[in-house]
């Protein structure tokens, strides 16, 4: 198509602008083929399948360069945030809405491009009660800034929010039907991606995303950078992280009161390690709906096994949702009672109620260990400098929740996944 075409000219200008001002988005956009889907009948706006970005000329002709920038960034973020592989059992319409709320909030907060606001009729979508054609719109709510797709989904589902069409078309991914040999699903809609093809696409995307992040050389939104760190960090078992962090409690400082005898015969006097043999840990267990009693029991059993290795310890345990429950302190003498501890809760999640409880009760442990899904109702995770903090995040290998401070690991029931920091 001729470069003199005003639509193509705007597309090229938008891609060049991204390369210069947002190299992560620009590089990733360049690695996905642009496909004109105007005549397809299924794409009234834009779409992405991990290999191609589809666009409709009738939609793009009314967009400014900054709006095209926004659309391109929106599409590549579906890839970078692995929205194809994270839906699992969730309702696809609420899941699509949740993804768009997260992406649009991120782009608007970072002031990247400009979100198109003009609704676009979609003749393929069901008509409303009045027979009117459904409209594709850009979804945005400031309250979702910093949320994960899973957290937004839970909010939409719990409130039974009216289902709306998202700005772009979200393609079916991971389908193992019989139509993966070139058949079409409905009016011109691309064939569904099989589970095997989806795995390959996700693996290829991981490489492309990492290459784009390297090309950005630090010039990318901080929130996105933290999420992408999980793609490149080495793996560590969550149990290993806990062991390392709890072990570090006992080594405190150096002292000259007992010189290191190892080198005294050579006339060399060095300080010896001063050790505090008491392990002092506070544990907060998030008992919101996504964390089961079995998961909490698995976690507490691991803590119990670790504590049995030390001559003395103080372990405080509480559970929480939007308030705290059942705070108990366990020592070497009462260790067995830890195995019969009763987790309580089951509502939402508010980290601040735990921090407030510790502060109000003058509890300042050497280590604070959180067992949580990471879906805090507030973007504030708490006071960073209150104490050393460890986060064990359930389902984190899927959701890519990244704490803003502290050490952390992803937890899968019976397994360990990843750690950073």
Q: Are residues 249 and 223 in the same domain?
A: no
Asked whether residue 51 is domain-assigned, the answer is yes
Greater model confidence, 249 or 295: 295
Is it the case that residue 323 has pLDDT exceeding 70? yes
**73, 16: one domain:** yes
Among the ranges 5-14, 82-91, 194-203, 226-235, which has the highest mean pLDDT value?
5-14
In this structure, the answer to whether residues 10 and 145 fall within a common structural domain is yes
Residue 293 lies in a domain: yes
Residue 269 shares a structural domain with residue 301: yes
Give the confidence band of 177 by pLDDT, cuts at 50, 70, 90.
very low
Is residue 1 included in any domain, yes or no?
no
Q: How far is residue 246 from each of residues 83, 90, 101, 376, 390, measured CA to CA in Å?
A: 35, 37, 39, 25, 10
Number of domains in the chain: 2
pLDDT for residue 185 is more than 50: no
Give the rounded percent of residues in the chain with a pLDDT score beyond 90: 37
Sorting pLDDT into bands at 50, 70 and 90, what band is 380?
confident
**What is the mean predicted confidence (pLDDT) over 158-180?**
76
Of 211, 229, 247, the residue at which a domain comes to its end is: 229
Residues 225 and 244 in one domain: no
Q: Are residues 41 and 187 in the same domain?
A: yes
Whole-angstrom CA distances from 184 to 55, 93, 192, 240 are 19, 21, 8, 48
Q: Which of 229, 253, 274 is the last residue of a domain?
A: 229
Do 221 and 294 share a domain, yes or no? no
Which one is predicted more confidently, 262 or 54?
Answer: 54
Domain final residue, candidates 182, 202, 229: 229
In a domain, 268, yes or no: yes
Instruction: Give the pLDDT band (50/70/90) at residue 181.
Output: very low
Asked whether residue 57 falls in the same domain as residue 169, the answer is yes
> 363 with 335: CB under 8 angstroms?
no
- Residue 129 pLDDT: 63
Mean pLDDT of the residues in the chain: 81
CATH of the domain at 391: 3.40.50
Q: What is the pLDDT of residue 146?
A: 80
The most confident of the ranges 61-65, 175-179, 205-209, 378-382 is 61-65
Residue 54 belongs to a domain: yes
Residue 287 included in any domain: yes
Answer yes or no: do 164 and 219 share one domain: yes
pLDDT in tens, 101-124: 999 999 999 999 999 999 998 888
Is 403 among the domain residues? yes
Whether residue 218 sits in one domain with residue 148: yes
In a domain, 221, yes or no: yes
Q: Comparing 175 with 124, which gets the higher pLDDT? A: 124
- 36 shares its domain with 134: yes
- Residue 210 neighbours by CB distance under 10 Å: 13
Q: What is the pLDDT of residue 182?
A: 34
Residues 218 and 247 in one domain: no
In which domain, by residue range, is 360 found? 238-420
Task: Please tell me whether the overall predicted TM-score, pTM, comes out greater than 0.85 for this model.
Answer: no
> Which has more confidence, 75 or 380?
75
Confidence of residue 301 (pLDDT cuts 50, 70, 90): confident
């Amino acid at each position: 198509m001729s470069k003199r075409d005003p639509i193509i000219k705007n597309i090229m200008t938008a891609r060049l602008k991204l390369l210069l001002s947002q190299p992560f988005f620009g590089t990733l956009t360049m690695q996905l083929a642009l496909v004109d889907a105007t005549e397809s009948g299924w794409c009234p706006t834009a779409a992405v399948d991990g290999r191609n970005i589809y666009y409709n000329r009738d939609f793009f002709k009314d967009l400014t360069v900054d709006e095209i920038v926004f659309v391109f960034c929106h599409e590549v973020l579906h890839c970078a945030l692995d929205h194809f592989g994270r839906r699992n059992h969730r309702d696809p319409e609420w899941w699509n809405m949740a993804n768009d709320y997260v992406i649009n909030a991120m782009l608007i907060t970072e002031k990247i491009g400009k979100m198109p606001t003009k609704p676009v009729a979609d003749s393929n979508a069901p008509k409303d009660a009045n027979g009117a054609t459904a409209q594709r719109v850009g979804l945005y709510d400031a309250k979702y800034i910093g949320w994960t797709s899973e957290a937004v989904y839970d909010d939409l589902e719990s409130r039974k929010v009216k289902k709306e069409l998202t700005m772009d078309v979200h393609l079916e991914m991971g389908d193992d039907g019989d139509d993966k040999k070139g058949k079409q699903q409905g009016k011109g809609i691309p064939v569904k991606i099989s589970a095997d093809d989806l795995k390959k696409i996700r693996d290829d995307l991981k490489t492309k995303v990492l290459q784009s992040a390297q090309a950005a050389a630090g010039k990318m939104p901080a929130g996105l950078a933290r999420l992408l760190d999980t793609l490149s960090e080495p793996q560590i078992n969550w149990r290993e992280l806990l062991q390392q962090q709890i072990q570090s409690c006992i080594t405190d400082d150096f002292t000259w009161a007992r010189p290191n005898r190892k080198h005294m015969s050579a006339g060399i006097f060095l300080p010896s390690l001063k050790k505090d043999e008491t392990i002092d840990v506070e544990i907060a267990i998030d008992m919101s709906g996504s964390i089961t009693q079995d998961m909490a029991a698995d976690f507490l059993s691991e803590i119990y096994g670790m504590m049995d290795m030390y001559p003395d310890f103080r372990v405080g345990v509480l559970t929480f949702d939007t308030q705290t429950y059942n705070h108990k302190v366990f020592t070497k003498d009462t260790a067995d009672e830890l195995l019969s501890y009763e987790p309580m809760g089951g509502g939402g999640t508010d980290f601040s109620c735990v921090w407030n409880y510790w502060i109000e009760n003058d509890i300042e442990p050497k280590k604070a260990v959180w067992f949580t899904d990471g879906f805090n109702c507030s973007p504030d995770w708490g006071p960073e400098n209150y104490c050393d903090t460890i986060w064990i995040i359930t389902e984190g290998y899927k959701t890519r929740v990244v704490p803003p401070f502290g050490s952390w690991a992803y937890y899968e029931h019976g397994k360990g996944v990843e750690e950073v920091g």
